[in-house]
Structure 1
Amino acid sequence: MRRSRLAVAGVAACVLAGMLSTPAVAQPREPRTPIIVTEQATDQVVVLDPSRDWSKDRAQIWAWQPGPDSDAGDTSQSWGLPDDARLRRDASGQRYVLVTDSYGLLASVPYPQKGPVAWSVDIGRTPNPHGIELLPDGNIAVAASNGSWVRVYTASQGRHSDTYVETALPGAHEVWWDAAAKVLWAVGDHLLVKYEVGGTAAAPTLTQLASYGLPTNWGHDLGPVSGDANQLWVTTVYGVHQFVKSTGTWNNSFPRQRELYGINIKSVGTDLASGTVLQTTPKVGNPCTWCTDQVDLFIGDSKTTEKVLPGAQIYRARWFDESSS
């Protein structure tokens, strides 16, 4: 059967169009989850919109530092180097920003209301508190690097309750509550440690269940690999690592591992909504030698964006979301 010349031309055109067309490439999801930073140039914790230019005022969503209305006592000596901040929600649904300051203030701040703190204590400058976490019963876990301890404070018992249970952990830098496993994790100079929190809200206990040597020494940050309940992020002086909870082993073959590697990384975390990983690393030339003015975002398989807050001295950054930090 003969085909008409027009039919043959039509087929050829369709074939050519098919050869020239390029399959659509999925674009990485840009993060929309806000980011909270501990900003030591202005002594604040600041929440910022990652979709906006951080040099503009409109990028700021929320900020806090203790003031006369915070009922945190005299903070002239206990506040000045905020070093940890994370968003948490209690059983009633109320949200809080938990903060620590190297000068000694520990606080739980109602979000977004501010006003009087939900809880605070001043532990002085010597311990150098570095990490904070809310527990299901309303108590608060804290890590202190110079104090070399992990504590659980009975925050559930009063707005300034300073009773605590303590266990030693040299160089303790961060704590994180694992809701799935119902355990508290902490990282120190040489170890990642898993604890059971027992007892009662008024009289808690803290029992070590297991410990794991770090791949390199001087642990710093700790948190979830959001979207993978079996792994944790851990940073040390030399590198960024993932810990596999089910096997008690270290995984260093995760996506973009080589790009994420760095020295003295202060914070790392995955945004559950977009999969974007954020990171803060001290920046040469910053007036604060352990700080930076930028947060690095690793988006998708290859894209990297730097969010710069001009004049800032950022220590840690976290996704402002309970599931991502």
Structure 2
Amino acid sequence: MKRRTLLRGAAVGAATVPLLATTASASENYQVAMTEQRTNRILVFNKDDAWNESTIKWKWGSTSRGWSNLSDVRFRDTKHFGRVVLAAASGGYAGIITSAGKVLWTGEPGGNPHAIERIPNIAAIVTASSGGYLNVYGPTKITDPSTLAKVQTVNLPGAHGVLWDPSLNVLWAIGDYVVRAYQVTGSYRETRLKDTGKSVALPGGGHDLQPDYTNPGKLVVTDTKAAYEVDTAALTAKVLRAETRIKAFVRHRSGEYLWVRAENVEPRPWSSPTVHFDSGDKTLADAQFYKARIVEAAFE
């Protein structure tokens, strides 16, 4: 049976079009979200469509300096607001956005925020800032994101990514030369991260951290040298793609990989107009993509 979870609504200036969850096969269409930094928007396309302004399925953007250089996007389902969009920006902001484009909460982690995650059941938010730390935000009321406040800062040099793992009940984070597992303790304003002592060494500065949607026991990560498959039980890393400058790397549940590789061209040498798929590349003229994500609310 085809799995179709709909997220309806529109962001600023977008048509009201549903965002589909991942489909069962790479031969079928599924939706992909990118952070596009030239126009500073989150853009969603059907993978199999021609990519241009008329085929955008959902978009959101802001002219605020704090939202400049959008660096992360992901989707999470909530009981109170339905599907929400989590976003982080190198300009300094991180936040929660509804499918209609309403910003429910904005935090200011500082230090070049690169990633954001939501801890289920307690609605805590964790961000990763490349300045060298993880930031934990706890609410006083799960249904009211405006009550989120910073409750903890955890040192992690080069922090670039965070991901909740419901199978192991840990938060994975990636930084310089390491992927590390943290236990989440407490709730609400007492939410805290505690190092479990479990980690996987990387040869380079860590960058992207995503689930492997084909296997809940695996992660896909990148550092400055390559992309890897991380086994969360064995705590080992295996090279998947020996290539530098991979800024985003994701595996669809069909087994297809998609990735963004920086083209080292000004004005944003860390970006590219192209998202690479095993089934073929997709390019948006003049785009400066940084991250690419499958439109999928599942953690794994």
TM class, shorter-length: 0.7 to 0.9
Which structure 1 residue ranges, 4+ long, deviate > 6 Å from structure 2? none
Q: Paired residue for 1:216? A: 203
Give the fraction of aligned pairs with identical amino acids, expressed as a percent: 27
Write the distance in 1 (CA, Å) between the matches of 2:118 and 2:29: 24
1:134 corresponds, among 118, 121, 130, to: 118
Q: 1:158 to 1:97 in 2, by over 3 A?
A: closer
Does residue 286 of structure 2 align to residue 311 of structure 1?
Answer: yes
TM-score (norm 1): 0.79
Between the two proteins, the alignment pairs up a number of residues equal to 272
Query: What letter matches 1:161 in structure 2?
Result: L
1:262 corresponds, among 243, 247, 253, to: 243
Structure in which a larger fraction of residues adopt helix? 1
Write the distance in 2 (CA, Å) between the matches of 1:102 and 1:224: 22
Structure in which a larger fraction of residues adopt strand? 2
Gaps of 5+ in 2: 1-24
Q: Paired residue for 1:151? A: 135
In the TM superposition, what whole-angstrom CA distance separates every residue of 1:140-178 from its partner, at most 9, and x where no partner exists? 1110001x1112212546426332212110000000000
Does residue 26 of structure 2 align to residue 38 of structure 1?
Answer: no
Gaps of 5+ in 1: 1-27, 68-74, 300-304
Cα distance, 1:92 vs structure 2: 4.3
The answer as to whether partners of 1:31 and 1:271 remain within 8 angstroms in 2 is: no
Q: Paired residue for 1:118? A: 104
Query: What letter matches 2:231 in structure 1?
Result: V
Query: What letter matches 1:122 in structure 2?
Result: E
Q: 1:324 to 1:307 in 2, by over 3 A?
A: farther
The more displaced of 261-270 and 281-290 is 281-290
Cα distance, 1:192 vs structure 2: 0.8
1:104-253 equivalent positions in 2, closer than 5 A = 104-111=92-99, 113-115=100-102, 117-124=103-110, 127-136=111-120, 137-146=122-131, 148-155=132-139, 156=142, 158-159=145-146, 161-252=148-239
Query: What letter matches 1:107 in structure 2?
Result: G
In the TM superposition, what whole-angstrom CA distance separates every residue of 1:251-295 from its partner, at most 9, and x where no partner exists? 33xxxx3xx3310211111112x3221100001435310000010
Cα distance, 1:298 vs structure 2: 1.2
Write the distance in 1 (CA, Å) between the matches of 2:207 and 2:186: 28
Cα distance, 1:191 vs structure 2: 1.3
Query: What letter matches 1:49 in structure 2?
Result: N
Write the distance in 1 (CA, Å) between the matches of 2:127 and 2:274: 26
The answer as to whether partners of 1:270 and 1:324 remain within 8 angstroms in 2 is: no
Write the distance in 2 (CA, Å) between the matches of 1:90 and 1:271: 22
